[in-house]
Structure 1
Amino acid sequence: MKRVQAGVLDVAYLELGPPDGPPAVLLHGFPYDVHACTAAARLLAEAGVRCLVPYLRGYGPTRFRDGATPRSGEQAALGADLLAFLDALAIERAVLAGYDWGGRAACVVSALWPDRSAGLVSCGVGYNIQNLPAAGRPAAPEAEQRLWYQYYLHSERGRAGLAENRDAFCHLLWHLWSPSWGFGAATFAETARSFDNPDFVDVVVHSYRHRFGLVPSDPALVDIEARLAGQPVIPVPAIVLLGADDGVTPPPATDTDARRFGGPYRREIVAGVGHNVPQEAPAAFAGAVRALL
């Protein structure tokens, strides 16, 4: 475990592999933590890659440096955090690889600061930049049903439910989102400790309210959100990995994201894998990272 002051955060992170190896940043999602990426990081480290695996804002030992900083979970915050992390470690370019919230951070940086991204691995959702101006448009009923947890967190009852039952809430999502992943109690418990972060509930609730326009942005991030509202094309080389058994964002038969990528692009559906691609299929995730180095 290492720590670095990066932007508004004191970031806790793991580092594996040779310090002079080509860098890759592996990013977890909600509700997971760095343990989702450690098996893939070990594989990459053995191949000579310098792997950096940070805890996102609101997770594990990562902390806000100032009590007055808004506990935002919006996409601009995740992208700004990743950019600040690269700056703090003096990393000019790295392969950025993640899923869920982590995939969103990687997509944001790859779109807005492509000179910092040597390549992108995006899992679960390929083009993982939210179209906030269109957030009020209803989806198909079966898709709306899968987003029940987001609508639940729009209410104060949902906030209280997450605060009081965070382990049970997250455990349920693991089962629903990765129905073919036979994770054990010890695997979940290893990650669940990260949900005890004092900012976890605030960051999560803000994330799922902001994406529907129910709460304002952090004023420091308004300009980034304005740039993202244009749905910028991601110009860097990209590999998209989608779990065939993903219970929250099942892969569509037609690739509707390809037009959002301007560089070399490949999409792969991984059989027998759900939402947590790096932990369920570490070899496939590590292989995609290596293909971009």
Structure 2
Amino acid sequence: MRTVRQVDAGDLSVGLWDEGPRDGPAVVLLHGFPYDIHAYEAVTDRLVERGCRVLVPFLRGYGSTRFLEADTLRSGEQAVLGADLRALMDALRIESAVLAGYDWGGRAACVVAATWPERCAGLVSCNGYNLLHPPAAMAPDEPANEARYWYQFYLHGERGRRGLEQHRQAMAKLLWQMWSPRWPFTEADFLRSAAAFDNPDFVEVVVHSYRHRYGLVPGDARFLELEAQLLTRPVIQVPTILLDGLADGVAVEPDTRSHARHFARLVRHERVDGVGHNFPQECPSVFAAAVMDLVEAAARE
């Protein structure tokens, strides 16, 4: 059984797995909503076997991660996710690491890769260029695409906030089923991750995330400059591997080849049939292989 350690970093006491040799090449694996670090169990095993130091943190609002101050805004905006990741690397004295993630975690990795490229030895990103662009968020899409985002619109109102508070496990399980229709996860698989949603800040962080990206609530004022930088849609300059699960039930564009223009050093783009939104847990072999390819490439530079 893995041990979760706590590390004070920035605004947070971060709970994380810290596995493998301390002098091995560093890898940070970042989960999405509504998932947790258990999405990376099999990936972590593969990378540790190859000599990597593997860090898998609970994002803010999940698991044992806690805010250090009661009055810190429970923001879920993209800038703070990236700042959290950078702060964790600072706290652990990791100058550079291969960053890999999906959903919220992929967004955090993309923020660091885009704005502090010296901290990112390589990037594995599911669903392509994960940076949000709130000024364009109110432009309507085709109804079939809008329907995929029902949970976001639900959380824009007080009914949705109360619904998530009262039914967080049921809502998360429904999203798992909708987003990964060909993944035969078990009840034990779900419950292992669902414990992370009991975090006292989970609802506030999630609601803020899905309101901020539509311009409905202000973000953390400390990160306005970083948010403004992200709005310029910066090209990511680090070596990147993109992964898409072609059975992803939430991705409006499950094949993100058009995102290539946002990556100056795109190594490859893999599209895998039958894989849904939770790519590392559904297809750990492909995910781990992508990470190792970037680890080995960084070692040759």
Task: Provide TM-score, normalisation by structure 2.
Answer: 0.95
Q: Structure 1 unaligned runs (5+)?
A: none
1:33 equivalent in structure 2: 36
Counterpart code for 2:5: K
SS in structure 2 opposite 1:15? strand
1:259 equivalent in structure 2: 261
The Cα of 1:254 is off from its aligned counterpart by 6.3
Pairs within 5 Å for 1:81-160: 81-123=84-126, 125-160=127-162
Q: Structure 2 unaligned runs (5+)?
A: 296-301
1:218 equivalent in structure 2: 220
Is 1:77 paired with 2:80? yes
- Distance in 1 between residues matched to 2:277 and 2:117, nearest whole Å: 26
Pairs within 5 Å for 1:1-293: 1-123=4-126, 125-249=127-251, 251-253=253-255, 255-293=257-295
The Cα of 1:265 is off from its aligned counterpart by 3.1
SS in structure 2 opposite 1:68? coil
- Report the more deviating stretch, 268-277 or 103-112: 268-277
Equivalent pair of 1:243/1:250 in contact (CA under 8 Å): no
Q: State, as a whole percentage, how many aligned pairs show the same letter.
A: 59
The Cα of 1:251 is off from its aligned counterpart by 4.3
Equivalent pair of 1:106/1:120 in contact (CA under 8 Å): yes
Deviations 1:153-208 (A, max 9, x none): 00100000000000000000000000000001000000110000000000000000
SS in structure 1 opposite 2:14? strand
Counterpart code for 1:246: D
Counterpart code for 1:14: W
Q: How many residues align?
A: 292
- Distance in 2 between residues matched to 1:48 and 1:70, nearest whole Å: 38
Counterpart code for 2:92: L
- Report the more deviating stretch, 53-62 or 250-259: 250-259
- Distance in 1 between residues matched to 2:252 and 2:152, nearest whole Å: 17
Equivalent pair of 2:77/2:209 in contact (CA under 8 Å): yes
2:298 equivalent in structure 1: none
Task: Provide TM-score, normalisation by structure 1.
Answer: 0.98
The Cα of 1:243 is off from its aligned counterpart by 0.5
The Cα of 1:255 is off from its aligned counterpart by 1.5
Counterpart code for 2:236: I
The Cα of 1:136 is off from its aligned counterpart by 1.2
- Distance in 2 between residues matched to 1:252 and 1:8, nearest whole Å: 34
Equivalent pair of 2:99/2:122 in contact (CA under 8 Å): yes
Counterpart code for 1:200: F
- Report the more deviating stretch, 242-251 or 46-55: 242-251
Equivalent pair of 1:251/1:269 in contact (CA under 8 Å): no
List structure 1 segments (4+ residues) > 2 angstroms apart after TM superposition.
250-254
- Distance in 2 between residues matched to 1:254 and 1:187, nearest whole Å: 28
SS in structure 1 opposite 2:196? helix
- Distance in 2 between residues matched to 1:290 and 1:61, nearest whole Å: 28
Counterpart code for 2:205: V
Equivalent pair of 1:23/1:94 in contact (CA under 8 Å): yes
Equivalent pair of 1:135/1:212 in contact (CA under 8 Å): yes
Equivalent pair of 1:59/1:195 in contact (CA under 8 Å): yes
Counterpart code for 1:34: I
SS in structure 2 opposite 1:262? strand
- Distance in 2 between residues matched to 1:37 and 1:194, nearest whole Å: 14
